[in-house]
Structure 1
Amino acid sequence: MELRQLQYFLKVAQKEHVTRAAEELHVAQSAVSRQIHQLEQELGVDLFVQKGRNLQLTPVGQLFCKRVESVLKELDRSVAEIHEFLDPELGEIRIGFPHSLGTHLIPTIVAEFRQHYPHVKFRFKQGSYHSLIKDVVSGEVDLAFISPFPDTDVHVTGDIVMTEELFAILPQNHPLAGESLIRLEQLKEEKFVLFSEGYSLRPIVWQACLQAGFEPKIAFEGGETDTIRGLVAAGMGVSLLPEMALFQTNPLQPAQVRIVDPTITRTVGLIHRADEKLPLVAHSFRTFLLSYFRLRENDTPVG
């Protein structure tokens, strides 16, 4: 069994088509077909079955595919570790984060880290709470910022790096927009613009409203901070956002007001797989991040 056979097999499994797989691999279609045929002969099983114009994995093919994906990921990781051992500054850091941290925090910390390690590469992936945990567990990313910190998940481990306050955001012409402090109860008759199901800020806002004695009336839902902020600024409702998500990125901005009853916060954590040693360059980045947040713990909010 050759490495090339496994690579060709995985690409065909992903594309469900020999021609498309060959195009992406930049080889002849006949070469891909031959390698798949030889692999099936060596294993003594059919890995694919024809379905219309596409190929589908057989049940045994699906089982084999999972193992091959794992093997090739480990191989890629081993090669990366060798390169990092020879020169840690030439490595790549794969990091995931929620949308609310993408506007200011991620660019800020990456820029500061690259002042010390200018040749390190970054691969970024945004996602929701559950997708970020999945990406860490599967090895898709090395590290992920996540909120709230998943202290009950045995597959990941990490540290809480900061606790962040949530503010009310209102249209600029809202009667409460000029206030310095409000109680959340004062928004009980308002329509809310909330994150969609699966985003961690939604249950935080929902629970805070219930604590204040009401269930929020949903006017609109969205998946990105800019969308939430823009809809509120356009007068479509009110919402709650963490301070990190309030940095201005366009001229149309909502008013922001501190909430005192109840005070609403979220934890932001940095996680990685519980059963795996981080690559050298990712370990260096994690050490930098923990120091970064410790130094700012007693200062003004990050950003």
Structure 2
Amino acid sequence: MDEERPTDLSALLPPEGPQAVPRGAAELDAGAWAAVLAPRLAQFAAVARHEHMTRAALQLGVPQSTLSRAVARLEADLGVTLFARQGRTLRLTRAGRTFQQAAERALAEVERSAESVRLDADPGSGRIAFGFLHTLGPETVPALLRAFRADHPRVRFQLVQTYGEAMLERLRAGALDLCLTSPLPDDPDLVVRRLDEQRLRLVVPAAHRLAGRRRVRLAEAAADPFVTLEPGYGLRRITDALCAEAGFTPRIAFEGEEAETLRGLVAAGLGVALLPPPAVPRPGVAELDLTGGRAVRAIGVAWLDGQQDTAPVAAFKRFLLGRKGRLLPR
């Protein structure tokens, strides 16, 4: 029986000392070391735990000879002796103990990561990384999540609220599964579906000369200073484009990051702004419809072309696409 036969590694194990370093091993870079060592860590860890080749082979379900050769190759690649033979068992050397600690940490991290991605893909309780614009935060996104979670109560969301360009960067980097964005990008590496549109209004101070009107032409505000979002925000690009269509370049008094901050600055008399409807009406401003053109912004969902969706992401994508034409509060 194998259990009764001593494991003799003397012909397989390299001698200790500098001469044990195989040719070229010391010159491996970090990526090459990872490629060499990763497949062998579990084998080494099993032998290190048992300090017995036969028991480790039984645990792993591999022939003892295969495991012996794997350990010998690992020692040859590292250029050190990891085990010393002691009767029928093996004893970890000082180098072996050091390497065992690192191997166990690496294997534990792999286990944690594997469990994490498995849980993320679980249809009932997986995770969705979802991005959205600041202006969709107060009402639209909470209503969407509430409706979706009515049928998927255990699905977890990792939410990112930022401006359009930053969201698309995160989408390409794999940090987001889906995002709601505006204006709709036409990049070939993205899939974009239009879901709804939102009418923009000219927001003016309550005491403004146009405040008593219900509808105005955007050109009538050409002489006013504008408060806008910073360059890179989708609403800023729409504002610049609409002003250009109206025949003027807006004179910028302030550039910010939040639409409601802009609305507050309009109320303070700092300027006028093109904004979507507020979640809650703000005193001190008048919100005027625009005539003479379509002052709207399209809202759509985007994802990376060729992306393989997990079950929860696929379910949420179907949910969003099913909300076409009724994404936004009316």
Task: Give the structure 2 partner of residue 144 of structure 1.
Answer: 179
**In the alignment, structure 1 residue 82 sits paired with structure 2 residue 113:** no
Task: Give the structure 2 partner of residue 302 of structure 1.
Answer: 329
- Aligned residues between the structures: 227
Structure 1 residue 80, shift from structure 2 partner: 5.1
Distance 1:89 1:145, change over 3 A: same
Alpha-carbon contact 1:191-1:237 (below 8 Å) kept: yes
Structure 1 residue 252, shift from structure 2 partner: 4.5
* Deviations 1:30-75 (CA, angstroms, capped at 9, x unpaired): xxxxxxxxxxx96xxxxxxxxxxxxxxxxxxxxxxxxxxxxx99x9
Provide TM-score, normalisation by structure 2. Answer: 0.63
For the aligned residue pairs, the C-alpha RMSD in angstroms reads 2.5
Alpha-carbon contact 1:161-1:269 (below 8 Å) kept: yes
Task: Give the structure 2 partner of residue 248 of structure 1.
Answer: 280
* Deviations 1:247-282 (CA, angstroms, capped at 9, x unpaired): 127x54522110012221111110111021111101
Task: Give the structure 1 partner of residue 3 of structure 2.
Answer: none
Distance 1:279 1:183, change over 3 A: same
**In the alignment, structure 1 residue 273 sits paired with structure 2 residue 304:** yes
**In the alignment, structure 1 residue 196 sits paired with structure 2 residue 207:** no
Task: Give the structure 2 partner of residue 169 of structure 1.
Answer: 203
Distance 1:84 1:202, change over 3 A: closer
Letter in structure 2 aligned against 1:125 = V
C-alpha distance in structure 1 between counterparts of 2:131 and 2:178, whole Å: 6
* Deviations 1:85-104 (CA, angstroms, capped at 9, x unpaired): 6x412111110111111111
Q: Is there any run of 5+ residues in structure 2 with no aligned partner, and where?
A: 1-36, 42-76, 79-108
Letter in structure 2 aligned against 1:247 = A
Letter in structure 2 aligned against 1:256 = E
Q: Report sequence identity in percent.
A: 31
SS at match of 1:136: helix
Q: Which runs of 4+ in 1 moved over 2 A?
A: 78-85, 251-254
SS at match of 1:292: coil
Q: Is there any run of 5+ residues in structure 1 with no aligned partner, and where?
A: 6-40, 43-71
Instruction: Point out the more displaced range, 171-180 or 276-285.
Output: 171-180
SS at match of 1:215: coil
Distance 1:206 1:158, change over 3 A: closer
Distance 1:280 1:253, change over 3 A: farther
**In the alignment, structure 1 residue 91 sits paired with structure 2 residue 155:** no
Alpha-carbon contact 2:205-2:285 (below 8 Å) kept: yes
SS at match of 1:157: strand
Task: Give the structure 1 partner of residue 155 of structure 2.
Answer: 120
Letter in structure 2 aligned against 1:216 = P
Q: Which of 169, 185, 190 does residue 156 from structure 1 map onto?
A: 190
**In the alignment, structure 1 residue 106 sits paired with structure 2 residue 106:** no
Letter in structure 2 aligned against 1:179 = R
Provide TM-score, normalisation by structure 1. Answer: 0.69
Task: Give the structure 2 partner of residue 23 of structure 1.
Answer: none
Task: Give the structure 2 partner of residue 46 of structure 1.
Answer: none
C-alpha distance in structure 1 between counterparts of 2:174 and 2:140, whole Å: 23
